[in-house]
Chain A
Amino acid sequence: MNNFSLGKNVWSYVVLIGISLFVIMPLSVAVTQSFMTNQEVNRWPPKLIPTEPTLDSYEQVVTQEDIRLDLWLRNSLIAASGYTLAVLVLCAPAAYAFARLKFPGNNIIFAILLVTIMIPQQVTLIPNYLLMRDLQWLDTFNALIFPGAANVFGVFLLRQFFIQIPAELEEAAVLDGASYFGRFWHVILPLSTNALVALGIFVFLGHYNDLFWPLIVTNSLETRTLPVGLQVLNSSYAGNFRPMVLAGAILSTIPILIVYILFQRRIIQGVMLTGMGGR
């Protein structure tokens, strides 16, 4: 075990404090402004700390009739959770094949996957929209969950992790007569919890903040997600109700912050277990 002496790690602290300041400064401006009045935000020289902190903007954003954070949040959580589930289920086996199995076309198929995600969604939107219509998926959660579920980033990330797992571990399972699926399920997956949780977080967050596609394919309050709602909030009020818009952004970030804190601990656990058991 390493010693915890300050001397050895002094540079780590210096670096971390420096980076933390860079991260905190903009965040703290947003947070303090959300507790100001509309008038106080518009002051010169800028006020860094509200003279009389007020919760008015939070009250406004929760009670204002045209802002429905609760519904938007519910829809976003449903869509992002469903999407994350779908991505993990689809990507893990595919990544296993790319990382550990030899088959004709391995590299070519992988290259094709990478190239296709370089075509931006602005031009694939119309074909996909027509497909949603034909499947009768417009204005449903299916349209928010499945079209992006074959996530190439996910395959790429998991593939890179699976490659790093020592081959001997799998060979031991083969000696025990394990099938390919058995090796995947009993050897690779347990060693990759950290990667799976990490991927889960990334795709969850990415989807949670997705704007353009949900805006086009949803029409009702039953499917409208947070970013779409906040976009309207932003374009309606950013000019004159800045604290309220910031309060909306902060409130909508809290749920994913909680999700992140919960699962982030899991990453550390997964990594620690791998380290002790594997090597």
Chain B
Amino acid sequence: MFKRLSFVTTLVILAALILVVPVMAQDEEPTADVSVLGSGDISISFWNGLTGSDGVTLNEMLANFVAENPEITVTTEIVAWNDLYAKLQAAFVAGNPPDVFMLHASEVPQFGSYGVLKDLGPWYTSGGGWFPDDDISESTLNGMMYEGTLVAIPLDNHGRGLWINVDMFEAAGLDPDMDPPTTYEGWVDLFQQLTLDADGNNAASPDFDPENVVQWGYAVGEWPRVNFLGALAQQGGSLVSEDGSTVTVNSEAGITALQQAVDLVYEYNVSPPEAGFDTWNAFGAGTLAVIPTGTWFRNQAETFSDINSRAWPAPQFGPEPGTWFGAHAWMVPASLEGEKLDAVETLIQWVSENQVAWAASGQVPARLSAQAALDADNYPSNILLGQGFSDYGVLDYGHVAIQEMYAALDPELSEALNGLKTVEEALNDAAERMQAVLDRN
């Protein structure tokens, strides 16, 4: 009898949990990865992948928005980007997409080709609307277009730059205010002076012990793909040929670009291999002098270590300067109509007109007028890196199968940067796989 009693007790406890637990934690004001802002009658849902300080900044902006537009309620939902793609696909196929969502410019063709995006041309001044076409860079504008139709409104430019450890520069007798080198040799020289072994010899010294490095000058490991795309542009190369039919990562330019990165690891010993090294961790612990990262690092740099750091422009290894950048962009499902569509338009317009506030996330506002209005004391990294995007940035390549092409490219870059394949082998394999993707689409 006892034994069944304990089984029944178990069931009762479980049932009790179901009944009792909901009583806990009620009547809370919800602000979380799902946030309900405002209490207006028109409720719109907004999905994005802006985790971290981006999301915090945006939710603060949206709180101001609903305060000014009390008739609107915004429910934002933040999930990590990869999960967002899956969630969006499921929601679209089930016919219940969010009312507005945020993706990257590079994904515009993909979602454009599904025919699920609303034509936002009428919102641009060229179509009689309010968003000035000429207040964003030409490449950003092109990134908003699928087959000649404007299907997205840009929020920002976010992209690649460096952060340097000021104290390490000074300890090596280098001036952190100097003009950054403009040649590969110049950068190698700089990194060598910043790479130290346990005996304090730098990498240029004949006594240097590459097996026992305690301070690295550089690290090839944080997001190697975008490093490569920037370096590729510097060499005059591109991911895909002009007509979009042939993958060209294994061109002369591509091989040179990747070889230079590999040589930093295996020839000059100024960077650890790609895998098994945590760049943020190392930079925060003071064992890495120069970290290639991006605009988003602005808020992180201040919070996770007491390192005295500042932004530097992306390194120039090739004959021309160049750096990778992407653009976050608003998109609206084609099926949205009526007052919800009006509310979404009001929302996007409001945020666009207040883009300066978005700089607090570290990213660079997409509108040139907002960039010009940034205050130089508070936003030095936004201004510095944003200038680079305008002057020589290459916008992330847009293609209907961009994610799949990158999924083919990434492991090959990793092979090369860990010394598992030669640069030629890796890029030829990458080109073959990416070409197969291109041909299929």
Contacts and interface: CB of A to CB of B under 8 A. Distances in A.
The answer on direct contact between A and B (beta carbons under 8 Å) is yes
Interface of A: 38-39, 42-44, 65-68, 70-74, 77-78, 81-82, 84-85, 88, 125-126, 129-130, 133, 138, 185-186, 189-193, 196-197, 200, 215-216, 219-221, 224, 228-229, 231-232, 235-237, 239-242, 263, 266, 269-270, 273-274, 277
B4 A193 contact: yes
A215 B33 contact: no
29 contacts: A38-B304, A39-B284, A42-B281, A44-B214, A66-B32, A66-B55, A66-B59, A70-B24, A70-B28, A71-B25, A73-B25, A81-B17, A82-B18, A129-B90, A189-B3, A189-B4, A193-B10, A197-B6, A197-B7, A215-B79, A220-B75, A221-B35, A224-B33, A232-B78, A235-B52, A236-B52, A237-B52, A239-B280, A239-B300
Contacts of A68: 28, 30-33
Given A133-B94, A237-B52, A270-B6, A219 B45 contact: yes
Contacts of A190: 1-4, 7
Given A44-B285, A125-B90, A65 B6 contact: no
Contacts of A228: 33, 79
Contacts, number: 166
Interface in B273-310: 280-281, 284-287, 300, 303-306
Contacts of A67: 32
B346 to A, nearest CB: 22
Contacts of B32: 65-68, 71-72, 221, 224, 229
Contacts of B303: 38, 240-241
Given A189-B7, A196-B7, A273-B2, A133 B304 contact: no
B171 interface: no
B87 A133 contact: no
Contact of A266 (B10, B80, B90): B10
B80 A240 contact: no
Contacts of B78: 66, 232
Given A66-B59, A215-B87, A229 B33 contact: yes
A189 B8 CA distance: 10
Which 10 residue pairs spanning A and B have beta carbons closest together? A240-B304, A42-B284, A190-B3, A236-B52, A236-B51, A68-B32, A42-B285, A190-B4, A70-B25, A235-B80
Binding site secondary structure of chain A: helix
Interface in B1-48: 1-4, 6-7, 10-11, 14-15, 17-18, 21-22, 24-25, 28, 30-36, 45
Interface string B166-208: 0000000000000000000000000000000000000000000
B96 interface: yes
Contact size range, B: 35 or more
B95 A133 contact: yes
Contact of B285 (A43, A74, A185, A241): A43
Which one of B45, B79, B214 has the greatest number of beta carbons of chain A within 10 Å?
B79
A273 B83 CA distance: 48
B31 to A, nearest CB: 5
B291 to A, nearest CB: 11
A276 to B, nearest CB: 10
A127 B281 CA distance: 42
Contacts of A125: 86, 90
Given A66-B31, A216-B90, A219-B34, A240 B7 contact: no
Contact of B3 (A88, A191, A237): A191
A130 B93 contact: yes
B22 A74 contact: yes
A23 B378 CA distance: 47
B175 to A, nearest CB: 26
B25 A239 contact: no
**Max count, chain A CB within 10 A of own CB: residue among B32, B35, B286, B303:** B32
B90 A126 contact: yes
B156 interface: no
Contact of B10 (A39, A74, A263, A273): A263
Contacts of A71: 25, 28, 30, 32
A157 to B, nearest CB: 15
Nearest to B18: A81
A68 to B, nearest CB: 4
B17 A77 contact: yes
**Residue from the set A42, A126, A192 with the largest chain B CB neighbour count within 10 Å:** A42
B14 A85 contact: yes
A157 B24 CA distance: 34
